[in-house]
Structure 1
Amino acid sequence: MGQRRTPFGDRARYWFDSTLARGAAALVGWMALLCLAVVVPTSAVLVWTDPDAPPSLADRLAEVWRLTGETLRLGGATGTPLRALMSVLLALVTLLFVSTLVGLITTALTERLTSLRRGRSTVLEHGHAVVLGWSEQVFTVVSELVTANANQRGAAVVVLADRDKTVMEEALSTKVGSFGRTRLICRSGPTTDPAVLPLSSPATAGVVLVMPPDDPDADAEVVKTLLALRAALAGAEPRPPVVAAVRDNQYRLAACLAAGPGGVVLESDTVTARLIVQAARRPGISLVHQELLDFAGDEFYLLSEPSLTGRPFGDALLSYSTSSVVGLVRGATPLLNPPPETPIAPDDLIVVITRDDDTAWLDDCADLAEQAAMASRPSTPTPAERVLLLGWNRRAPLMIDQLHRRARPGSTVDVVAERGEATIRQVSEADADSGNGLSLALHHGDITRPETLRHLDVHSYDSVIVLGRDPVPGQPPDDPDNRTLVTLLLLRRLEEATGRELPLVTELIDDRNRALAPISPGADVIISGKLIGLLMSQISQNRHLAAVFEELFSAEGTGVRLRPATDYVLPGSETFFATVVAAARRRGECAIGYRSHDDSSTSPGYGVRINPPKRERRRWTAEDEVVVIGKD
């Protein structure tokens, strides 16, 4: 059987493809032939159809050549073959020079634009805020810095992270929204490289914030970034203040050493665990913390007030009509809620909560306190508590430790989590150290399955805490929230079936999922990354507040508490808020606000009012609560 003959079209196509594969020279040759195949016949048609065309064939061919040369910029000289060839050579040299020059200019502009798009140019700013690293806290920090700089001209925030510049700008624009007067500048590069950090000009910055990345080795990378920052700032004086956050307490000392004497390092997991436990014991406390920490409401300020020198601290509580006094800073030591008889020293700074640094002025309100409206009953003792912990992550052992520290005899904690060696070991270790004050039990089950929750008498617990898993590398960062939302949906169904509201506290990673959470108005939602971002933003504006927050959120220190209003004023009485402040002073506490029961289901504040005017008069109900700074 004879060999089948390849069609001519296929052979021609294969030959054409083979010539193109030889490189740029073959491509240029084919382009020249294609141009000539179009231009020469078209020029001939133009010449032969021209009424004024020369009569002789030689002259017409010369005219065709001239038109072809003008069209292809190959020179149009006619005459002897040598003359035509020289004109073509000159045209080719000119074409080569122009095309090379255009190519060089285009390449240079492309490289420059690419470099700008990649964020590889050095920032020339002074007094700006530098944010190093990328995590969920970035959006909160940038948003708060924009709010803090709302009244400042020329403010700038520089974000340096090992991500594409355009991607960072789009993400920040989407989640933060308008930047107002603040200019956002993004630069790309690893934050652990001392040669890259100068892109953000940290030496001329007003503050540097180091974000813990969303990966298992976040703390080690924070320490390495701080070391790289120290190397990049070598010889720079004065150095900008540094604010950083680590997850594990074991890394805090190393991070503090790397940050230097002026650095502030927060423990994100410890702070989050404490706030979740506080919210479990007193629903609504998370709303108070958010009001105190974001720049949109009232904030902490340090004031020097010589006119109060020598007077007892208790007098200062009613010396400001639009500000709430909560303590003193003596030297570098914060004294939150000191005894009322503590004298104010000449160098003491007064810690106040106020709208702005220019809204705290002296205005004696002592005469507004009405003794007849004050309650005189003792504080209600805290009973034993039953806590249900649904889910497990790295912060769960810290929460159990916090529950153990203040547990009353007979208190119990039931943990429901899937089987896992780490979970069993950590719960067993916590149980071994819990002593007689707290009974701890571990139950295995998938909290996203309805049958698991149906077998639990969830309404018998004083508080229910829902935790998401730790993020897994390679999975979407909000994957733990997806499971948490499923659990919350099942719990909401149990609430609707029984008609009873659960005392629920849940932890979410992404603040955008808060609007999706199927929870009752009385439930507390803790956005772990947002709280740390708010803290870092506050300290970045005044690093002297770091010691105040350290005391405020410490395990055994003076903190924010929600107390029944009946501990301070008689139910049904109508009186000034100054009366509540005076009653709290008598109990050794600083009253800073209240939560109205009638508005507890109305967003956005859900009844929480921080730093109300002392002259505000309202009727107090038995279900209202008072926000105080004090101890348990």
Structure 2
Amino acid sequence: MAQRRVPFGERARYWFDSTLARGTSALFGWMALLCLGIVVPASAVLVWTDPHAPASLPDRLARVWRLTGQTLRLGDATGTPLRMAMSLLLALVALLYVSTLVGLITTALTERLTALRRGRSTVLEHGHAVVLGWSEQVFTVVGELVAANANQPRAAVAVLADRDKTAMEEAFAAKVGPLGRTRLICRSGPTTDPDVLALAGPATAGVVLVLPHDDPDADAEVVKTLLALRRALAGAERRPPVVAAVRDDRYRLAASLAAGPDGVVLESDTVTARMIVQAARRPGLSLVHQELLDFAGEEFYLVAEASLAGRPFGDALLSYRTSSVVGVVRGDVPLLNPPTRMPLAPEDLLVVLTRDDDTAHPEDCAALVEEAAMASGPPTPARAERHLVLGWNRRAPLIVDQLHRCGPPGSTVDVMADTAGSAARQTIGADAHEEARSVPALHQGDITRPETLHRLDVHSYDSVIVLGQDPVPGQPPDDPDNRTLVTLLLLRRLEEATGRRLPIVTELIDDRNRALVPLGDGADVIISGKVIGLLMAQISQNRHLAAVFEQLLSADGPRVRLRPAGDYVLPGCDTTFATVVAAARRRGECALGYRTRRGSSRAPGNGLRINPDKAERRRWTADDEVVVVGED
């Protein structure tokens, strides 16, 4: 077979590519030929078209040489060959020196920019917040810190995580949005290395927050980070307060020891389980918790009020028109909803729910109380409750345990989990040995299949709790939420088929999936990571609030509750909120808001009104609820 004739163009390109492959010398030669091939002819055209050009050919060639040398910054001297050679040599040396200097400067700048891009420079800030670690909670924490610093002229948040700096900045830009006056500084490196921790400037920070990671060894990593922080701060004049979170209570003591006496360590699983249980027992309570934890609305502050010293605590409840008092801090111990006759000491700090730290102005509201509108009957008696838990994860044993401990006598809990829920059987088996409790019933089945849910009479339960599975290594992070959303769709179909609303409490992992939940706007949806992020952000602003929230979210004792409004004021009566506060005081409770059933499904407030003006009047109905801090 005849050999194909290779076109000249392909052969020329192949020869050109082969010469370039020889290295820098070949590239330099081609660049020189290219420049000379353009500059020399152009210079010759300029000389030959110049009316003042020399007449003789040697003089014209000398002129062409000068133009070429000036253009290429080469020697332009004329005369003997030796003189021209020396001029060219000096020009090449100068060119080599300048190009080398430019190369060194460019390399140094590139390395510096690369180092900055890697996030390896030390943060030189004072009073800033340092966030150590990376998880879904980091966006909630940073977002809340930005909201808390909205009125601060110079605020900064430094985030140190073992991730690429540019990737972190892009993630914050997408999920947190505008930062206002707050400067966000990202640094890259392992949080367990004391030398790397120094990059975030913890010695001059106002607070340090240590986030749990998403891997199975998250708690051990938190303890190791706290030890590294302790080492990095060795010898420092001051130690900033530390706020950390662990998932398992077995690591809390070790983390507390590593965090130091001023540190606060939270148990994320316990807090999440308590909020799920409280929302299951009283639908809508998760909305109250959300309002109290974020910085968008009312916040808790500690206020010193000398004018109330010596007076009973009950008088303080009606001493602020636009703020709500829920307790006192005596020493370092918070007393929420103390006895109304307890006298206030001069050094006591009031725990006040108000819009900002400068909005708690004392004003006597006793004249706004209308005694005739108060309800005088006994409170609504508690009845036995039935709860259904769909799914199983590491928080489920805590939820089942608290449902038993907090529920009225005769309450029951049923669990529907798939065949992988061996932990559910072990937990329920352990509960069987406690004679004081009823044994939860375990049903095995896939909660993402319609026939599984049809076997249950879901409308006979007072609450349905939907839990996602624990993330599995190598599994997509959205997979637990995906299964939860499928289950919610099936429950929504049951609601539409029967025309009856189900009291559903949903736990999600990713806050972005909240908008996809096929339930009403007022549904109880608890984002496990976001809850602990909000709590850490609140405590980072005032560590004394840790004990306050510990009581408010506790399994027993004084905590936030939703009570029927008919227990406080007469249904159909038009009266002030001060009357509700006075009625709650009479029952030994602190009222801090209300929720209307009529607006419970309408965003953005969902009928919830926290810390209303004491002079606000409205017509109260039997379906309204009052938000109080009280005991069972």
Coarse TM-score class (shorter-chain normalised): over 0.9
* Cα offsets for 1:344-388 (capped at 9, x unmatched): 233322222122233223333334333332223323333222222
> Is the deviation greater in 606-615 or in 27-36?
27-36
State how 1:530-545 maps to structure 2 within 5 Å. Answer: 530-545=530-545
Q: Secondary structure at the match of 1:438?
A: coil
TM-score by length of 2: 0.93
1:119-138 correspondence runs (5 A): 119-138=119-138
Alignment check: 8 A CA contact 2:209 2:242 kept: yes
One-letter amino acid matched to 1:125: E
Q: 1:430 to 1:71 in 2, by over 3 A?
A: farther
| 1:355 and 2:371 correspond | no
Shift of 1:187: 2.1
SS in structure 2 at match of 1:397:
helix
Between the aligned partners of 2:12 and 2:71, the Cα distance in structure 1 is 29
Q: 2:2 & 2:154 partners in 1: Cα distance?
A: 85
CA contact (8 A) 2:425 2:442 kept: no
* 2:548 corresponds to 1:548: yes
Moved more, 479-488 or 431-440: 431-440
Q: Which residue of 1 aligns with 2:371?
A: 371
How far is the alpha carbon of 1:475 from its aligned partner?
Answer: 4.6
Change in CA separation of 1:613 and 1:58 when aligned onto 2, cut-off 3 Å = closer
Q: Show the 5 A alignment for 1:129-528.
A: 129-420=129-420, 422-432=422-432, 435-528=435-528
CA displacement at 1:60 relative to structure 2: 4.8
Q: Is the 8 A contact 2:432 2:439 kept in 1?
A: no
State the Cα distance separating 1:39 from its structure 2 match: 3.9
CA contact (8 A) 1:248 1:269 kept: yes
**Cα distance, 1:32 vs structure 2:** 2.4
Unaligned 5+ runs, structure 1: none
Query: Matches of 2:450 and 2:85 in 1, distance apart?
Result: 89
Which amino acid is the alignment partner of residue 613 of structure 2? P
Amino acid at match of 1:469: Q
Give 1:45 deviation, angstroms.
Answer: 5.3
Partners of 2:428 and 2:439 within 8 A in 1: no
Q: Partner of 1:543: helix, strand, or coil?
A: coil
Q: Helix, strand or coil for the counterpart of 2:544? A: helix
Look up the equivalent residue of 1:228 and give its one-letter code: A
Is 1:579 aligned with 2:609? no
Cα distance in 2 for partners of 1:434, 1:45 equals 106
Indicate the SS of the match to 1:344: coil
Is the alpha carbon distance of 1:453 and 1:69 closer, same or farther for their aligned partners in structure 2, counting shifts above 3 Å? same
Match of 2:626 in 1: 626
How far off is 1:15 after superposition?
Answer: 5.3
Counterpart of 1:418, as a letter, is: D
Equivalent residue for 1:591?
Answer: 591
| Structure 1 residue 213: Cα displacement | 2.0
Contact 2:595/2:627 (8 A) holds in 1:
yes
**Contact between 1:409 and 1:438, CA under 8 Å: does it hold in 2?**
no
Query: Residue 434 and residue 484 in structure 1: after superposition, are their counterparts in 2 closer, same or farther (change >3 A)?
Result: farther
Displacement, 1:16? 4.5
Letter of the 1:295 counterpart: F
Q: CA deviation at 1:464?
A: 0.8
Structure 2 CA distance for partners of 1:323 and 1:63, relative to 1, 3 Å = closer
1:29 is paired with a residue whose SS is helix
Alignment RMSD: 2.5
Aligned mates of 2:396, 2:570 — CA distance in 1: 39
Answer yes or no: is the 8 Å Cα contact 1:43–1:68 preserved in 2: yes
Aligned-partner Cα distance in 2 for 1:564–1:496: 27
Change (3 A) 1:57 1:527: same
| Structure 1 counterpart of 2:247, one-letter code | R
Contact 2:387-2:461 within 8 A present in 1 as well: yes
Is this contact kept in 1: 2:406–2:556, CA < 8 A?
A: no
Alpha carbons 2:404, 2:413 under 8 Å: kept: no
For normalisation by structure 1, the TM-score amounts to 0.93
Tell me the distance in 1 between the aligned counterparts of 2:428 and 2:413.
Answer: 13
Q: Output the CA distance in 2 between the equivalents of 1:99 and 1:18.
A: 27
Counterpart Cα distance in 2 of 1:479 and 1:261:
39
Following the alignment from structure 1 to structure 2, what is the Cα–Cα distance between the partners of residues 614 and 10? 89
Structure 2, unpaired ranges of 5+: none
Q: Give the whole-Å Cα distance in 1 for the aligned partners of 2:434 and 2:45.
A: 102
Q: Distance in 2 between matches of 1:231 and 1:348?
A: 36
Q: Tell me, what secondary structure is at the counterpart of 2:157? A: strand
Greater Cα offset, 311-320 or 504-513: 311-320
Instruction: Return 85-94 or 341-350, whichever deviates more.
Output: 341-350
Structure 1 pair 489/59, CA: closer, same or farther in 2 (3 Å)?
A: same
Q: 1:129-180: per-residue Cα shift (whole Å, max 9, x none)?
A: 2222222222222222222222221122222222222322222233222222
Q: Residues 404 and 434 of structure 1 are in contact (CA less than 8 Å); yes or no, is this contact kept in structure 2?
A: no
